[in-house]
Amino acid sequence: MDIEAIRADTPAVVRRAYMHNAGAALMPVPVVDAAKRHLDLEAEIGGYHAAAREHDRIEAVYDSVARLLNAHRDEVALVENATVAWQMAFYSLQFGPGDRILTAEAEYAANYVAYLQVTRRTGAVIDVVPSDATGALDVAALERMIDDRVKLIAITWIPTNGGLVNPAEAVGKVARAHGIPYLLDACQAVGQMPVDVEAVGCDMLSATGRKFLRGPRGTGFLYVRRPLLERLEPPMIDHFAAPWVAMDRYELRPDARRFENWENNYAARLGLGVAVDYALAIGLDAIRDRCRLLAGRLRAGLAGIPGAVVRDLGRDPSAIVSFTIEGREADAIVAGALAQDIVIGASKASSTRIDAERRHLPPVVRASPHYYNSDAEVDRLLDYLRAG
Ligand SMILES: Cc1ncc(COP(=O)(O)O)c(C=O)c1O
């Protein structure tokens, strides 16, 4: 990995130590340029003609995302964010009284409130799979919980509040063995590690552009495996998702674009495509290794700071480093860091309530280095934390 070239593509690194990539990463120059170029074109010839002129490039975004996921382009829907992607999949599924939705303790708030809404409406129930001794979803427990009332397994791969990497692939094996639809929230995973829907065995996967993928805000995508895709009726449709083919009839598109609608931010979408290509060109294996190396350096440094407690779960944590420091509020730590041009974030219990309540977690600081960060930036954060 040519770190110098990569850092040159990320000009803000000379001004700040940016480790808020689980929130919104810094976009590399080619991403910003692609989006700006399209906005300029829209300003010059109008949005419709700009989209027509850039048609091939816009279409190629589907190929890029498909390559990223090892999926087919027809299985990809491009939407506004990970939440919309997830909602489109989840709310397409049908539940009845007594049906069970299995999820994990690290589930993201947006997903969990949707379970609550649907279970209230339908009489279905949510069952939370317990975690194992490391804090990851317990696959043996999941297996024991399976019965013919389980209509969905839906988990978050990497939670919003820490480094845990849930065993998405092992969950996929269980889901496949029992023929249960499997919806995976990969929002914090894409862009920081390889994501292969065939290896994972998920039927639906949602993700965002602005986090570790380094794409523009307001971008996201949904993957839906073909056989399931054909059976899913989106909760809301328009005449793009489902062309109006006769006075009394619409026909759902055959591809995953049935989860989209007509109007789009093409500048952002083009930026997303470039971000995906950028990550693929560097290589997701190399990205994962460097992310873990930097996160490991940060965790090791935190171990030497009095009162600091690393809160990450799991055997081999990702590049999201969560911690608390005794006697110091997470928000104050984040604000103090910002004053020194060190950008990190915090995560509150309400984002991951099951996990946070089970562990009695206060708000945690969340530092998420990416491959474009340096050892020196990690050390700068540690120096700031050490100085109190
Ligand atoms: C695990 C997880 N899922 C989903 C989302 C939602 O992503 P978006 O804000 O793009 O809708 C987030 C955002 O923080 C997240 O951390």
- Residue 388 has what pLDDT? 84
- Residue 49 phi, psi dihedral angles, 5° rounding: -70, -35
How many angstroms does the Cα of residue 386 sit away from the middle of ligand 1? Answer: 31
Which secondary-structure segment (H or E) carries 364? strand 364-367
HSE toward the beta carbon, residue 341, CA cutoff 13 A: 7
Which domains are present in the chain?
Answer: 3-28+283-387 (3.90.1150.10), 32-281 (3.40.640.10)
Task: Report the phi/psi class of residue 341: left, alpha or beta, with left for phi > 0 and alpha for psi in -120 to 50.
Answer: left
pLDDT of residue 162: 96
Q: Pull the structure tokens for residue 309.
A: 């407690």
What does the pLDDT average to over 349-365? 96
Q: What is the pLDDT of residues 62-86, one digit of tens each?
A: 999 999 999 999 999 999 999 999 9
Q: Which of 103, 115, 164, 187 to mutate to test the pocket of ligand 1 (most atoms within 8 A of CB)?
A: 187
DSSP class of residue 30? H
Using most ligand atoms within 8 A of CB, pick from 79, 80, 83 the residue to mutate for ligand 1: 83
Contact 322, 310 (CB under 8 A): yes
Work out the percent of the chain whose per-residue pLDDT is above 90.
100
What Å distances lie between residue 326 and 4, 51, 363, CA to CA?
37, 53, 12
Contact 379, 130 (CB under 8 A): no
**What are the tens digits of pLDDT across the range 299-343?**
999 999 999 999 999 999 999 999 999 999 999 999 999 999 999
Mutate to test the pocket of ligand 1, among 108, 221, 318 (most ligand atoms within 8 A of CB): 108
Q: How far is the CA of 250 from the centre of ligand 1 (A)?
A: 32
Distance from the CA of 208 to the center of ligand 1, in angstroms? 7
Asked if residue 212 lies in contact with residue 229, where contact means CB atoms within 8 angstroms, the answer is no
Q: Each residue of 126-180: pLDDT tens digit?
A: 999 999 999 999 999 999 999 999 999 999 999 999 999 999 999 999 999 999 9
Distance 52 CA to ligand 1 centre (A): 31
Mean pLDDT of 1-13: 96
Of 313, 308, 294, whose CA–CA distance to 161 is shortest? 313
Paired tokens of 176: 């496949």
Average pLDDT over residues 48-64: 98
The residue assigned the tokens 């949602």 is: 206
Q: Percent of the chain, pLDDT > 70?
A: 100
Looking from the CA of residue 84, the nearest atom of ligand 1 is: 11
Alpha carbon distance 164, 111 (integer Å): 17
- β-bridge partners, 342: 17
- CB under 6 Å to ligand 1: residues? 81-83, 108, 110, 156, 159-160, 185, 187-188, 208, 220
Band (pLDDT 50/70/90 cuts) for residue 292 is: very high
The protein residue with its alpha carbon nearest to ligand 1, atom 7, reads 82
Is the pLDDT assigned to residue 95 strictly greater than 90? yes
Are 37 and 266 in contact by the 8 Å Cβ rule? The answer is: no
175 backbone dihedrals φ, ψ, rounded to 5°: -60, -45
Region 195-222 average pLDDT: 98
Residue 201's Cβ-side half-sphere holds a number of Cα atoms within 13 Å equal to 15
Please, what is the average pLDDT of the chain?
98
Res 238 pLDDT > 90: yes
Query: Could you report the per-residue pLDDT of 244-258, keeping only the tens digit for each?
Result: 999 999 999 999 999
212: its two tokens = 């570790």
Pocket test for ligand 1, best of 81, 111, 160 (most atoms within 8 A of CB): 160
Separation of alpha carbons 229 and 240, rounded Å: 16
Element spanning 145, H or E: helix 139-145
| Separation CA 361–CA 344 (nearest Å) | 18
Q: Residues 102, 150: contact at Cβ < 8 Å?
A: yes
pLDDT computed for residue 332 by the predictor: 98
pLDDT over 90 at 35, yes or no: yes
Separation of 159 CA from ligand 1 center, angstroms? 9
